[in-house]
């Protein structure tokens, strides 16, 4: 019983020592063993490891490629045009000891990198015109930015894998001014198109009216020619008919005159009874009693 009282504390002490002595480095991590704040070992391979309990402690660092979103930064191009640039970077801790000594932890590292990236963006993009920053040549500028950031990030044990611009927008005031300018330009173009359309409409209408006048005149001319030919043909027929039977021709012409003169049934004519006009009405003299 007495032995049990001594064995139990010993087991607990051994378990505590083992608990504070053993640590596991995961595949995504790398570790620095510190003794009173002084780095003693760098562990980059995953697995089970040991340290001196209560004397040494372990700092874990991520060895994966990490993302960093920088705050939007206003850049003034070489042509004095303003641009809001929103960039992001991807970085990796390649030297844990240098990283720990220079920045200490990931939070401080992100803050330092954001400052460096924004400064480099202003430096590189500020030497280019706005048109260049919005074209395909922007890729070359991003390469220069990445190289410059890498040169400074190496002092922190960090490698910059990539730097990209997520978005490049004009400031709100510039956007509104450009929108108004574009609106004015579109309105001017619309007025110009309407004026051209009205001019074309007048030209087409004038051409159509001219063609109509020419067509009507041509038709009128043909009509008069055909009418004249018809009258000539009619007169020729009448002349032939008169030559063959003058008496019948005179009768026919008189019937036409009666039809036109006596139309309506209410026509009154005052003529001499022996007028040539009534010669086909028979004897118009009144009869006398024998």
* Element spanning 252, H or E: helix 246-261
81 with 164, same domain?
A: yes
231 with 271, same domain?
A: no
100 with 145, same domain?
A: yes
CA distance 267 to 117: 116
What is the per-residue DSSP string for 106-125?
HHHHHHHHHHHHHHHHHHHH
List Cβ neighbours of 123 (8 Å cut-off, separation of 6 or more): 148
List Cβ neighbours of 106 (8 Å cut-off, separation of 6 or more): 61, 62, 66
45 with 119, same domain?
A: no
Cβ 200 vs Cβ 104: under 8 Å? no
Domain that includes residue 259, residue range: 245-281
253 with 235, same domain?
A: no
- Can you give the pLDDT at residue 287? 47
Whether residue 203 is contained in a domain is answered as no
Whether residue 198 is contained in a domain is answered as no
113 with 162, same domain?
A: yes
- Can you give the pLDDT at residue 209? 86
Helices 106-125 and 138-153 meet at what angle, rounded to 10? 140
Per-residue pLDDT of the chain (290 residues; tens, 9 = 90+): 455 666 777 777 777 777 778 889 999 999 999 998 888 899 989 888 888 888 888 999 999 999 998 888 888 777 777 778 888 899 999 999 999 999 989 999 999 999 999 888 888 888 877 777 666 677 788 888 889 999 999 999 999 999 888 877 776 655 565 667 778 788 888 888 888 888 888 888 888 888 888 888 888 888 888 888 887 787 777 777 667 767 777 777 777 776 666 666 666 666 666 666 666 665 545 444 44
Per the rule left: phi > 0, alpha: psi between -120 and 50, beta: everything else, 288 is beta
Residue 280, both tokens: 């086909």
- Can you give the pLDDT at residue 103? 92
């Amino acid at each position: 019983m007495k032995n049990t009282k001594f064995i139990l504390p010993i087991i607990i002490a051994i378990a505590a020592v083992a608990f504070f002595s053993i640590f596991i480095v995961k595949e995504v991590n790398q570790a620095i063993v510190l003794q009173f704040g002084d780095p003693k070992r760098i562990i980059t391979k995953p697995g089970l490891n040991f340290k001196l309990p209560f004397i040494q402690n372990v700092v874990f660092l991520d060895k994966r490629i990490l993302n960093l979103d920088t705050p939007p930064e206003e850049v003034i191009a070489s042509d004095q045009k303003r641009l809001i640039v929103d960039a992001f970077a991807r970085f990796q801790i390649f030297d844990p000891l240098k990283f720990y000594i220079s920045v200490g932890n990931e939070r401080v590292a992100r803050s330092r990198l954001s400052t460096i990236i924004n400064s480099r963006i202003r430096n590189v993009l500020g030497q280019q015109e706005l048109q260049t920053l919005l074209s395909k040549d922007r890729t070359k500028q991003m390469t220069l930015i990445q190289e410059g950031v890498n040169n400074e990030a190496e002092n922190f044990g960090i490698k910059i894998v990539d730097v990209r611009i997520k978005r490049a927008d004009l400031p709100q005031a510039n956007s509104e001014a450009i929108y108004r300018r574009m609106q004015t330009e579109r309105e001017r173009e619309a007025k110009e198109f309407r004026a051209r359309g009205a001019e074309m409409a007048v030209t087409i209408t004038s051409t159509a009216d001219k063609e109509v006048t020419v067509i009507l005149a041509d038709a009128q001319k043909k009509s008069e020619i055909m009418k004249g030919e018809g009258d000539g043909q009619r007169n020729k027929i009448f002349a032939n008919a008169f030559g063959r039977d003058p008496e019948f021709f005179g009768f026919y012409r008189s019937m036409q005159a009666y039809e036109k003169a006596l139309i309506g049934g209410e026509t009154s004519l005052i003529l001499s009874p022996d007028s040539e006009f009534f010669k086909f009405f028979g004897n118009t003299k009144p009869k006398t009693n024998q």
